[in-house]
Amino acid sequence: MYLVAGTQADQPQNNRYFHRMTARMVSSLSAIIDANELAEDPSEEEGRGVATKIGMEDLMRMGIDWTEREFVREMCRTWFNREVSYSTHRSDCCY
């Protein structure tokens, strides 16, 4: 029996990689949301939907490139029912 790349023999290794990356992103987003909630002003209107602030450094810790930030926005909406606002210190053209 010959093993060829992309066959079922490679799937457990690929699954571990994607599981690890997904777990990193979910735990990072959870920590960011918790930190944002602690920093929110409690006098703001309830149910207004304050956006979670995510910076370039947060994306880098998740292993995500700045150009893939819309994926993180969708993931945050889907998993946590939160909107995202991105803070940048540089121009978008640099990424």
Domain spans in the chain, listed from the N-terminal domain onward: 10-37+49-94
The burial of 50, by beta-carbon neighbours within 10 Å (0-12 exposed, 13-18 middle, 19 or more buried), is given as middle
Locate 52 and state its tokens. 């979670």
Going by pLDDT thresholds of 50, 70 and 90, the confidence category of residue 1 is: very low
Mean pLDDT of the chain, nearest integer = 80
The residue type of 92 is D
Q: The whole model's pTM is what?
A: 0.67
pLDDT digits (tens, 9 = 90+) for 32-71: 999 998 887 665 555 556 789 999 999 998 988 889 999 9
Residue 15: its pLDDT value, please?
A: 84
| Locus of tokens 């370039």 | 56
Per-residue pLDDT at 12 exceeds 80:
no
**Residue of 28, 25, 49, 26 lying closest to 37 (CA atoms):** 49
